[in-house]
Each structure stands twice: as C-alpha cells, then as structure tokens.
Amino acid sequence: MFKLRSLVTALALVGSISVASAWEALPTQALEPSDNPSTAEKIELGKMLYHDPRLSSTGTVSCASCHNTTLGGEDNRPNSMGVNGQTGGRSAPTVWNAAFNKVQFWDGRAATLEAQAAGPVTNPIEMGMKSWDDVVVRLKGIAGYQAAFETVYGKDSISKDNATKAIAAYERTLITPNSPYDKYVGGDKSALSAQQVRGMEKVAELGCTSCHSGAAFNGAGTFQKFPMTADSYLEAKYHFTKDKGVAEVSKKAEDEHFFKVPTLRNIAVTAPYFHNGSVATLDEAVKVMAKVQLNKDLSKDETADIVAFLNGLTGEFPKQHMPKLPETAGKTVN
C-alpha cells in the first residue's frame, strides 16, 4: 500500500495535470469482489447489521451513528462520538460512494470495504466490543439474525467474515449518481450554471484534479501529503500536522502527514472538512486547500466559483428504507 502511495504521490507532484478533457460521470454500480457477490438478501442483512447498535459494547453506537445514510454519509461532527461519549481525533469520512475508494480510512489501512467494516466494531473508542468472537456470540443469541444469516450463507453461518461481507454488500449500494455535474458531462449543458462551469475550469487550471481525479474525484487510491506548504497561521488555527496520517500505521517517517485523497462527491453536505474536521465551511476549506497545497491565494470570485462547482457534485441519494432489526423478545443482549 505504501509503495503505491509513494508512486502515485510522485506522479501527482510532477505538476498540475489538467483533466478537463476527461471528466467522468459516476457509475451507477460498483464492482464486487469475486468472493462477495451481492444478493438482495445479503444486502438486507448488511443493512440490518449496519444500523444495529447492538454491535457495540454499550448498545448505543452503530455504523450509522458516524456514517449516517440519512445525511451525507457521515455525522457533521469534527470528531465522531463512540461508546461512553468518547471521541477520536479524525472526522468520519462519508460512506456514500465509498465503494469507489481503492482503500478505506484516512490512513488507508483497510484495502476493502469488508476489511473496513471489521475495524470500528472492536475499536475501543468507536464501538468498543472486546473481540469479534464476542460479537458473534451476541448475534447468535438473536433468533432473527440466526434466520437471516442462514438465508444468505446457510446453517450455522454467523461469523465475522460473513457479517463484514454483508455490511460491505450493503455499502456498495450507497451510490449517488446524476449530480448536476454528471448530467453536464453526459451532454446536458444546462445542468451547470455559468458560475459552476467557471469553477470547473478553475479546478482543472489550478491542478486540483491531479489529486482529486477520476469519476469519484478521489484519486482512485492516491495518497497525498497534507499540508504541502507550511503556513504557521493556518497551522496554529487548524492543527493539521498534529495527526501524522499514514505514519500512524506504518511508523515510517517518510509517511508522515500523508492521507488518502478524499472524494469531492457530495462535499457540500459533508462539513466540517479535512481529516480532523477543523474547518467549518466549504469556502474556507477551498481557500485553505489552495494555500497549503498549491501555495496560491484565491480571489473572492475564484473561491465562489469553485464552491459553486463543488455544490454541483451533490448527487441523487437513493431513498433509504430503514430495516426492522431482529428483536430479543423478553430479554436484552448480553
């Protein structure tokens, strides 16, 4: 993973690469791994598990608590709150369109949605279960889950592997196509305003798309150093370098302050911004990015044009029908 990051970063730093001739619309379906094909029953099971707070030690935190599918796929908090009111040091990434990420988490420590789904459940700050063995025991004690797993995987099939595969299958349905931008690149030239088109052109001109590339504007697995340019005022205000990024996982100095390039899709509805959620507004985030990544000071009009374009990346959110969770009739979970 880190070799890939180094290669992609080196390419990104060669110069500002305009991709104005290669704007891509978002696919309406995500590729599935060969060992986890989707079915309607598996997706429904994954939806139940995703929204069930009983996968946490206190019975109060679910995947949806931090990655809310009735919002922008996160929680609009600088730092998400886990069990017993604990908060971590990072802002929750959006789950919408996460199927198009090559790696998951800000530091890219999970290569797949399946691997990502396993992590928060046993993180002591997030969902706080001591082990997945404990999760399996809890699920086996709920008759409705026994039946749901059997339908999807067969008899006696409740396991960490099957649970995370089901959650990932559900997450692969969380795609937001048909944004004004998608309609524009699909041929409807009235879908974006003149201001949004100016912003789109400015994004390419500045070189933003050298990192935020591809249909999901996420660099397809790229890691990028952040911030690139030291700015003492912004650092004192936002504390960007307190988090060492990929180096927190790799323990290598050369990986310090590298982060997965986040998607720009739906960015207008996923405030606050950056890995630590320190920037409250989109216009400020645009100005900060220009300064610390490109060493450029944007004018008021340039900022407004880019913000207008980014608003055009808000797609259509498929309606979420909340699942009926299996009951524990006459008792509570252990």
Catalytic center residues: 126
Q: How far apart are CA 289 and CA 261, in angstroms?
A: 12
**Residues 266-270: contacts with CB under 8 Å, at least 24 apart:** 266/72, 266/73, 266/94, 266/96, 266/97, 266/176, 266/313, 266/314, 266/315, 267/310, 267/313, 268/307, 268/310, 268/311, 268/313, 268/314, 269/71, 269/72, 269/314, 270/72, 270/73, 270/74, 270/76, 270/94
Angle made by CA atoms 86, 105, 4, in degrees to the nearest 5: 150
Q: How far apart are CA 185 and CA 269, in angstroms?
A: 22
Measured CA distances, 196 to 164, 191, 267, 309 (Å): 39, 9, 15, 4
